[in-house]
């Protein structure tokens, strides 16, 4: 079985395993106690903090270990917003942030705060100018991920951080996806990360708060972790997390080159091997091991099952997954196709032969899914010329049918209407709002817009060719 979902959780690094086992014997005592066992545990905790701080690029006394990356984000945002409550209640986030950031933003807004969401381009990147324009005198905090977890696009963090610094606004960076590769550059103020993303054990997060940042801890406070993470430290996991961060960084430069070559192979070969595919994300500014693509006329969940049967573990941001019936907020913000979405994220050490095997298996898996769904053959060139006026648009009733059926039905009939005429697709699937315009762009047809219908929504498409 080939595990290609390292962006969700990387396999435990051998160094992490060794450190974890060793510290189970040496680091079980309370590091706050003064007896021998406590002092030994304290030494391990201090050494882990120094190693992790070196990897982050901050001082050891600026770094807090939390119970997860999500907890680090929640704690960091809440503390920074509370610390600057006299400045104002305005928060800035990007539209493609991890759900932990967006959930905190929703809670902040529900409590009376104001949130500005900065849009991204079709590659998933923000514009520095958009963050500059979003800053106001009452802005308390801005947040920006270092790299996107679904499509791999790297963000201009250093430039945004400088713009925020010039405006006197702290920037919190979610560095979960990138910290295993390199430290985050720029004058950021707060940083959150998660050990299981770089091959450390799960249940360990990092929160860095640089000196001078106004920060007010929310909730009950105890004496541990500067009051920012209550409760007994999971010392063996913390030691393993710090050890594995140092280990993966030592390999990062060489391994990044190798994985970039493999993902470029996937990006180049998939459109050659499979028809009607959109490779998404920035082609250059991207994480080394992540590549994401979407296939027309494919149910994302079914495709993942087909690939699983062939021996590949991949993930999807498609609307057709077991956990959600709505498109990924990342794909929605980018305005790209969500049907048949596949994210391949290669762990460190992935053999090139397994990538080649994936490329050999993928076309057959897509073909099987398309056949099951009755996907259409390519639309023939127009044989009928349009006229100045047409009758009522052809109606496709896809109510009650989930993606990608509305798009499949549209594709089947688009060749039946004259050039210049319209097709009206009725759908109550939220994914249609994203996938029908994306289909139009891919197939050279005009997306006219949407309008209310008695049930669901009506999507209007004009045939251009």
Residue-wise DSSP of 139-206: EEEEEEESB-TTT-BBP-HHHHHHHHHHHT--EEEE-TTTTTT-PPPS--SEEEEEGGGTTS-SS-EE
Could you tell me if 165 and 39 lie in one domain? Answer: yes
Domain boundary, last residue among 215, 248, 281: 248
Could you tell me if 292 and 273 lie in one domain? Answer: yes
Could you tell me if 279 and 187 lie in one domain? Answer: no
- pLDDT of the residue at 390: 57
Contact (Cβ atoms closer than 8 angstroms) between residue 105 and residue 145: no
- Checking if the pLDDT of 379 tops 60, the result is no
Least confident range of 33-37, 158-162, 264-268: 33-37
- Checking if the pLDDT of 370 tops 50, the result is yes
336 within domain boundaries: yes
Give me the domain span that covers residue 65.
Answer: 2-248
The beta strand positions in 4-104, using DSSP E, are 63-66, 90-94
- pLDDT of the residue at 387: 38
Whose CA is closest to 175, among 98, 67, 64, 286? 98
Our CA angle for 239, 243, 246, nearest 5°, is 145
CATH number at 417 reads 3.30.110.40
- Checking if the pLDDT of 386 tops 80, the result is no
**Phi and psi at residue 210, in whole multiples of 5°?**
-70, 150
Could you tell me if 290 and 190 lie in one domain? Answer: no
- Checking if the pLDDT of 345 tops 50, the result is yes
Whose CA is closest to 314, among 343, 341, 334? 343
- Checking if the pLDDT of 97 tops 70, the result is yes
Measure the CA–CA gap between 386 and 462, rounded to whole angstroms: 11
388 within domain boundaries: no
The pairing of strands 114-118 and 90-94 is parallel
Could you tell me if 263 and 314 lie in one domain? Answer: yes
**Phi and psi at residue 334, in whole multiples of 5°?**
-80, -20
Average pLDDT score over residue span 147-165: 97
Measure the CA–CA gap between 116 and 91, rounded to whole angstroms: 6
Measure the CA–CA gap between 154 and 237, rounded to whole angstroms: 28
Model-level pTM greater than 0.75?
yes
Local confidence band at 149 (pLDDT 50, 70, 90 cut-offs)? very high
- pLDDT of the residue at 389: 45
Contact (Cβ atoms closer than 8 angstroms) between residue 446 and residue 459: no
Considering its fold, how many domains does the chain have in total? Answer: 3
34 within domain boundaries: yes
Contact (Cβ atoms closer than 8 angstroms) between residue 372 and residue 294: no
Contact (Cβ atoms closer than 8 angstroms) between residue 384 and residue 415: no
- Checking if the pLDDT of 307 tops 80, the result is yes
Query: Which of residues 100 and 326 earns the better pLDDT score?
Result: 100
Could you tell me if 156 and 114 lie in one domain? Answer: yes
Mean pLDDT across the chain:
92
378 within domain boundaries: no
Could you tell me if 94 and 22 lie in one domain? Answer: yes
- Checking if the pLDDT of 360 tops 70, the result is yes
Calculate what percentage of the chain has a pLDDT beyond 70: 95
Contact (Cβ atoms closer than 8 angstroms) between residue 339 and residue 296: yes
Domain boundary, last residue among 248, 269, 288: 248
362 within domain boundaries: yes
Tens digit of each residue's pLDDT (9 = 90 or more) over 36-62: 999 999 999 999 999 999 999 999 999
SS3 of residue 29 by DSSP: coil
Query: Which of residues 390 and 434 earns the better pLDDT score?
Result: 434
Least confident range of 40-49, 324-333, 339-348, 425-434: 324-333
Measure the CA–CA gap between 360 and 231, rounded to whole angstroms: 50
CATH number at 200 reads 3.40.640.10
Could you tell me if 102 and 235 lie in one domain? Answer: yes
Average pLDDT score over residue span 335-360: 95
334 within domain boundaries: yes
- Checking if the pLDDT of 385 tops 50, the result is no
Cβ neighbours, 10 Å, residue 304 = 24
383 within domain boundaries: no
- Checking if the pLDDT of 399 tops 80, the result is yes
Could you tell me if 226 and 262 lie in one domain? Answer: no
Could you tell me if 137 and 281 lie in one domain? Answer: no
Average pLDDT score over residue span 435-459: 92
382 within domain boundaries: no
Whose CA is closest to 350, among 288, 303, 306, 308? 288
Could you tell me if 235 and 256 lie in one domain? Answer: no
CATH number at 270 reads 3.90.1150.10
Least confident range of 119-123, 159-163, 322-326: 322-326
What does each C-alpha distance from 379 to 284, 395, 446 come to in angstroms? 33, 18, 15
Domain boundary, last residue among 320, 341, 373: 373
Tens digit of each residue's pLDDT (9 = 90 or more) over 220-241: 888 788 778 888 899 999 999 9
Average pLDDT score over residue span 8-31: 94
Local confidence band at 377 (pLDDT 50, 70, 90 cut-offs)? low
Measure the CA–CA gap between 329 and 430, rounded to whole angstroms: 12
Could you tell me if 257 and 115 lie in one domain? Answer: no
Calculate what percentage of the chain has a pLDDT beyond 90: 84
Average pLDDT score over residue span 250-269: 97
The beta strand positions in 263-322, using DSSP E, are 277-280, 290-295, 312-313
Our CA angle for 4, 156, 141, nearest 5°, is 105
Measure the CA–CA gap between 419 and 381, rounded to whole angstroms: 10
- pLDDT of the residue at 258: 97
- pLDDT of the residue at 94: 98
- Checking if the pLDDT of 381 tops 70, the result is no
**Which residues are identified as catalytic?**
320
């Amino acid at each position: 079985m080939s595990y290609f979902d390292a962006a969700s959780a990387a396999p435990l690094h051998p160094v992490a395993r060794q450190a974890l086992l060793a510290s189970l014997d040496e680091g079980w005592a309370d590091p706050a106690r003064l007896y021998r066992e406590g002092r030994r545990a304290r030494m391990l905790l201090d050494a882990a903090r120094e190693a992790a701080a070196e990897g982050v690029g901050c001082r050891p006394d600026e770094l807090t270990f939390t119970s997860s990356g999500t907890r680090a984000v929640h704690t960091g945002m809440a503390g920074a917003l509370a610390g600057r409550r006299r400045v104002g209640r305005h928060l800035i986030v990007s539209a493609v942030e991890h759900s932990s950031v967006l959930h905190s933003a929703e809670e902040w807004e529900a409590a009376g705060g104001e949130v500005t969401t900065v849009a991204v381009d079709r590659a998933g990147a923000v514009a520095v100018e958009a963050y500059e324009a979003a800053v106001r005198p009452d802005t308390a905090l801005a947040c920006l991920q270092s790299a996107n977890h679904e499509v791999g696009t790297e963000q201009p963090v250093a430039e945004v951080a400088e713009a925020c610094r010039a405006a006197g606004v702290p920037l919190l960076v979610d560095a979960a996806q990138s910290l295993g590769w390199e430290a985050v550059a720029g004058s950021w103020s707060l940083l959150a990360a998660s050990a299981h993303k770089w091959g450390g054990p799960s249940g360990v997060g990092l929160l860095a708060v640089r000196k001078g940042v106004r920060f007010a801890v929310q909730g009950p406070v105890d004496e541990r972790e500067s009051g920012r993470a209550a409760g007994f430290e999971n010392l063996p996991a913390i030691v393993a997390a710090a050890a594995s961060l140092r280990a993966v960084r030592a390999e990062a430069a060489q391994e990044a080159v190798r994985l970039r070559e493999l993902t470029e192979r996937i990006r180049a070969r998939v459109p050659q091997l499979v028809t009607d595919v959109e490779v998404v994300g920035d082609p250059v500014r991207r994480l080394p091991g992540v590549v994401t693509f979407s296939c027309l006329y494919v149910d994302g969940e079914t495709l993942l099952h087909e690939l699983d049967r062939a021996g590949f573990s991949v993930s999807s941001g498609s609307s057709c997954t077991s956990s959600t019936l709505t498109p990924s907020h990342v794909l929605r913000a980018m305005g790209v196709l969500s049907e048949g979405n596949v994210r391949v994220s290669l762990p460190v050490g992935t053999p090139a032969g397994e990538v080649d095997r994936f490329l050999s298996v993928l076309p057959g898996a897509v073909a099987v899914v398309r056949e099951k769904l009755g996907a259409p053959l390519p639309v023939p060139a127009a044989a009928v010329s349009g006229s100045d006026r047409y009758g009522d648009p052809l109606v496709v009733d896809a109510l009650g049918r989930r993606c990608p059926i509305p798009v499949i039905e549209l594709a089947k009939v688009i060749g039946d209407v004259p050039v210049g005429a319209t097709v009206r697709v009725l759908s109550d699937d939220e994914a249609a709002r994203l996938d029908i315009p994306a289909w139009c762009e891919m197939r050279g047809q005009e997306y006219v817009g949407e309008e209310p219908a008695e049930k669901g929504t009506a999507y209007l498409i004009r045939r251009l060719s």
